[in-house]
């Protein structure tokens, strides 16, 4: 059972907007920032969003993150076929004394 | 270009020991923490621990403390993850990661901004 809860799956059609949620608690998201990772099939994860909404160089503006209270979300607009991947949220957890990841969401582009 | 290059696939028996490596290139290896993340087959990501290559100071997730050892050799820009006695449940893909700028706070809180990842090392433990 992950400290951060994500829906196991999400889907959308090309061109649509999709949102993936990450629900935590006061000991993690409620008190620290959230990062998001994209893992394409058969590859290592890649940093997609850090510190709630910042995008590393090279990440398209179609990806954006936001946080409110003890939850965070990753939104992808203008969905493209190459966005089909697993997405993981991550944060620090005071109770577990370490970084924690969400269980991951598999995004399918229909 | 920043790169983390990991050692290859390992097939071991339960009870055997193992040490896998992660070599950094393209940046000053001694000035960024290097961590390890486990991904069991078909599952999510788990943070295992982290090492400061400058002095090999290591910190561990409580879930892995006592079962693994994380170390580094700055002469070779390399970090290591080792087990003295493997279990079948250690079968997984292991990624080394670089903790990016701002990732380590003065009070020891780790903001998991893992900005570079190794390609992964598959470890299979089976009798």
As for how many domains chain B has, the answer is 1
**B109 band by pLDDT with thresholds 50, 70 and 90:** confident
Q: Which of A50, A96, A97 sits opposite B113 (nearest CB)?
A: A50
The structure tokens 């003065």 sit at: B106
- Calculate the average pLDDT of chain A: 96
**CATH code where residue B63 lies:** 2.60.40.10
Q: Which of B45, B70, B99, B107 is the best substitution to test chain A (most A C-beta atoms within 10 A)? A: B45
Q: Compute and round to an integer the Cα radius of gyration of chain A.
A: 13
pLDDT, tens only, A45-84: 999 999 999 999 999 999 999 999 999 999 999 999 999 9
Q: Compute and round to an integer the Cα radius of gyration of chain B.
A: 14
- The per-residue pLDDT for B102 is 82
Regarding the domain delimited by A9-109, which CATH topology (the fold level of the hierarchy) does it fall under?
Answer: Immunoglobulin-like (2.60.40)
Q: Which of A44, A91, A92 sits opposite B120 (nearest CB)?
A: A44
Q: Which domain holds residue B93?
A: 3-125
pLDDT, tens only, B11-67: 999 999 999 999 999 999 999 999 999 999 999 999 999 999 989 999 999 999 999
Domain boundaries, chain A: 9-109
Structure tokens at A26: 């006061």
Q: What is the mean pLDDT of residues B87-96?
A: 98
- The per-residue pLDDT for B119 is 98
> Taking CA B22 as the corner, what is the angle to CA B56 and CA B114, rounded to the nearest 5 degrees?
80
Q: List the single residue in B with minimal CA-CA distance to A103.
A: B44
Interface membership of A55 toward B (CB under 8 Å): no
Contact (CB<8Å) A88/B113: no
């Amino acid at each position: 059972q992950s400290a951060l809860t994500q829906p196991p799956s999400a889907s959308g059609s090309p061109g649509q907007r999709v949102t993936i949620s990450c629900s935590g608690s006061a000991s993690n998201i409620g008190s620290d920032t959230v990062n998001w990772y994209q893992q394409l099939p058969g590859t290592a994860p890649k940093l997609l969003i850090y510190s709630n909404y910042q995008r590393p160089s090279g990440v398209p503006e179609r990806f954006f993150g936001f946080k409110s209270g003890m939850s965070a979300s990753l939104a992808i607009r203008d969905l493209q076929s190459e966005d089909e991947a697993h997405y993981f949220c991550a944060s620090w957890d005071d109770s577990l004394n370490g970084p924690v990841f969400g269980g991951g969401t598999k995004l399918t582009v229909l | 270009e920043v790169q983390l290059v990991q050692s290859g696939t390992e097939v071991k028996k339960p009870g055997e020991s193992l040490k896998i490596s992660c070599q950094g290139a393209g940046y000053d290896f001694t000035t960024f923490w290097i961590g390890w993340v486990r991904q069991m087959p078909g599952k999510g990501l788990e943070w295992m621990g982290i090492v400061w290559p400058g002095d090999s100071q290591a910190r561990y997730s409580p879930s892995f403390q006592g079962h693994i050892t994380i170390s580094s050799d700055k002469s070779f820009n390399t970090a290591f993850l080792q087990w003295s006695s493997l279990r079948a449940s250690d079968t997984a893909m292991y990624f080394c990661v670089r903790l990016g700028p701002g990732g380590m706070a003065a009070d020891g809180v780790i903001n998991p901004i893992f900005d570079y990842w190794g390609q992964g090392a598959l470890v299979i433990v089976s009798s």
